[in-house]
Amino acid sequence: MIIVLKPGTPPHVTQELLDRIAESGLKPLHLPGAERVVLGALGDERVLADLQLDGHPMVESVKPILAPYKLVSREAQPEDSVVRIGNAAIGGGAFAVIAGPCAVESYEQTLASARAAKDAGASAIRAGAFKPRTSPYDFRGHGAEALQILRSVGDELGLPVVTEVMDASDLDLVVEKADALQVGARNMQNFTLLRAIGQTRKPVLLKRGMSAKIDELLLAAEYLLAGGNREVVLVERGIRTFETAMRNTLDLNAVPYIKQRTHLPVVVDPSHGTGIRDLVTPMALAAAACGADGLLIEVHENPAVALSDGAQSLYPDQFAQLMAQLRPVVSAVGRQLAC
Ligand code: PEP
Ligand code: MN
């Protein structure tokens, strides 16, 4: 339920209303907006009806949140959320490109790939320390050692770093080293992990599961917000369809659809979405054109020898071209590209 307060409601009245909601066993939410304060009450709506808040002199309106995802919905918060990863802003008109190699392979490889990303205009570096791989015999990342490498590279270049956390037992370690956490497609519905991350205040990139419906993605994000972590960015990274020509089918329909329903920023990952290097730039431009708030791009100093996802990783000069082509598209849709 959403409770809209009249403009000029004094803070002590807001607090009284929040206390009444909490005393009745509902979860109170304080959602101060630019123009007026909105309160939320989550739980049994019959209990809220008994509180009769619509009769309060400072309450303008009381209306139900119809979406199953409450905190994530635009009904709860009409204005865009802006998520900050270090100095990089995502959402609310700010467009950010997060780039880097699929995995941290070595200090030299990570630094060279990250430097190429930075020089071309990326505003954050992403590289995996813990890699979810289909085969247990494939390279699964250098773990804790890679986290330290990534941190050092981020510090050296002065850019924030993003990396995947695969297991709740690694969370403290990853929180200590990273500026933002990635939840991978295979873990989108790992509710233990989502609940643990919800307790932190680290920004999160939550990737859509390869067979996940949009509502399931939004409900996965609801776990994070319900835990208290509102710094959530949704990532469309392609889904499984009958089409096998590409690694995945990049669902760009999802971008405007999701943005109509949530205030959270949406970023597109055309690297995993296509799996094919030559498709990354056109789909990145399309993503910007259809309203994405940013991109996640794999770029490697030498994709030919990459230990994972070489076939979809851009060469540094290709990434620089992508950035050059992106700028006019981003400004044509009224957004600002950082850097
Ligand atoms: C990745 O980001 O390198 C990755 C494994 O992505 P996804 O979880 O989308 O498959
Ligand atoms: Mn990858």
- Tell which one of 131, 135, 181, 237 to mutate to probe ligand 1, the residue whose CB is within 8 A of the most ligand atoms: 237
In contact, 317 and 300? CB cutoff 8 Å: no
Q: What is the CATH number of domain 2-63?
A: 3.30.70.1140
User: How close is the Cα of 272 to the center of ligand 2, in Å?
Assistant: 6
- 275 pocket-lining for ligand 1 (C-beta < 6 Å): no
- 184 pocket-lining for ligand 1 (C-beta < 6 Å): yes
Residue range(s) occupied by CATH 3.20.20.70 in the chain: 83-338
User: How close is the Cα of 33 to the center of ligand 1, in Å?
Assistant: 34
Superfamily of domain 83-338: Aldolase class I (3.20.20.70)
Contacts (Cβ under 8 Å, ≥6 apart) of 212? 185, 188, 189, 220, 239
Beta bridge partners of 30: 39
- Name the closest ligand to CA 185: 1
User: Of 23, 65, 16, nearest to 42 (Cα)?
Assistant: 65
- 28 pocket-lining for ligand 1 (C-beta < 6 Å): no
Q: pTM for the complete prediction?
A: 0.94
In whole angstroms, what is the distance from residue 137 CA to residue 129 CA? Answer: 16
Residue range(s) occupied by CATH 3.30.70.1140 in the chain: 2-63
> What are the contacts of 111-115 at 24+ separation with CB within 8 A?
111/153, 111/156, 111/157, 112/301, 113/299, 113/300, 113/301, 113/316, 114/153, 114/154, 114/157, 114/159, 115/157
Q: To which residue do tokens 């044509």 refer?
A: 332
User: Of 301, 240, 242, 305, nearest to 275 (Cα)?
Assistant: 240
User: What H or E segment, with its residue span, contains residue 61?
Assistant: strand 59-63
User: Of 143, 84, 131, 116, nearest to 294 (Cα)?
Assistant: 84
For the stretch 206-247, pLDDT in tens is 999 999 999 999 999 999 999 999 999 999 999 999 999 999
In whole angstroms, what is the distance from residue 178 CA to residue 287 CA? Answer: 26
Q: What is the pLDDT along the chain (339 residues), one digit of tens a residue?
A: 899 999 999 999 999 999 999 999 999 988 877 778 889 998 887 888 888 898 999 999 998 888 999 999 999 889 999 999 999 999 999 999 999 999 999 999 999 999 999 999 999 999 999 999 999 999 999 999 999 999 999 999 999 999 999 999 999 999 999 999 999 999 999 999 999 999 999 999 999 999 999 999 999 999 999 999 999 999 999 999 999 999 999 999 999 999 999 999 999 999 999 999 999 999 999 999 999 999 999 999 999 999 999 999 999 999 999 999 999 999 999 999 985
* 128 CA: nearest ligand 1 atom: 3
* CB neighbour class for 37 (10 Å; exposed up to 12, middle 13-18, buried from 19): buried
